[in-house]
């Protein structure tokens, strides 16, 4: 299986911060990567797919970059409603795998 | 609009089985595979497998072979996952997902005596 590693696992943030989250694959997955936001008790929400394509309805403060094995999700100016857990997912292989997540907490 | 409505929470005893459902609406059910994902606090998100909703053929993550059985009922546009020989390690939230962009609301399965 392709291993997905996210860093950091926990990030203390303030409203207005530029936030950068990282995701690394154990092999080349080209651009077959998605980012999700998850809040307690809710289903994961797709933010970004194909590494850098913003899902319809997602605010433009979210952006994704990367290809191959290294990827980044950036929130340009953190809003209170963005406090959540974010995880990446590869769908290059038929057996999806997920990163362990990055939890954002307010300072 | 696309919706995946999953069945309610389950409380099951060790050694028993549960069958959870995922009813699809808003699209042609047989045009898309259905995937299933397990989420726990300790292990995070794990891919269980997927089912071809047209043919009924399923593909499983090696870890879940023998544990999960995926089926569909095309007449009701519903996908099912049966979990057998339950242990406390099977306690989790289970999601169905159509592709990467549509997920059900999740079903909490608790295995306890």
Per-residue pLDDT of chain A (107 residues; tens, 9 = 90+): 999 999 999 999 999 999 999 999 999 999 999 999 999 888 899 999 999 999 999 999 999 999 999 999 999 999 999 999 999 999 999 899 999 999 999 99
CA distance B81 to B70: 5
Sign of CA dihedral A99, A103, B2, B3: positive
Cβ contact A43–B105 (<8 Å): yes
Contacts for B14 with CB less than 8 Å, ≥ 6 apart? B86, B87, B88, B111, B112, B113
Cα gap B47→B94, rounded to integer Å: 10
| Cα A86 from Cα A99, distance rounded (Å) | 9
Cβ contact, residue pair B103, A43, below 8 Å: yes
Contact pairs from chain A to chain B, CB under 8 Å:
35
Nearest CA in chain A to B95: A43
């Amino acid at each position: 299986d392709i291993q997905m590693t996210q860093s950091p696992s926990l990030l203390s943030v303030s409203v207005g911060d530029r936030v950068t989250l990282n995701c690394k694959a154990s092999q080349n997955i080209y651009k077959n990567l998605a980012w999700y936001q998850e809040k307690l008790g809710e289903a994961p929400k797709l933010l970004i797919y194909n590494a850098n394509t913003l899902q319809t309805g997602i605010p433009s403060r979210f952006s994704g970059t990367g290809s191959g094995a290294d990827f980044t999700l950036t929130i340009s100016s953190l809003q209170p409603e963005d406090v959540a857990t974010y995880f990446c997912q590869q769908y290059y292989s038929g057996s999806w795998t997920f990163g362990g997540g990055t939890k954002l907490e307010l300072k | 609009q696309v919706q995946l409505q999953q069945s309610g929470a389950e409380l099951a005893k060790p050694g028993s089985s549960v069958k959870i459902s995922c009813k699809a609406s808003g699209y042609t059910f047989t045009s898309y595979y259905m995937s299933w994902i397990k989420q726990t606090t300790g292990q995070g998100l794990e891919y269980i497998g997927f089912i071809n909703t047209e043919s009924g053929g399923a593909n499983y993550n090696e870890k879940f072979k023998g544990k999960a059985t995926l089926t569909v009922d095309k007449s009701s546009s519903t996908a099912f996952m049966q979990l057998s020989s339950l242990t406390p390690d099977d306690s989790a939230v289970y999601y169905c997902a159509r592709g990467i962009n549509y997920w059900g609301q999740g079903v909490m399965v608790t295995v306890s005596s």
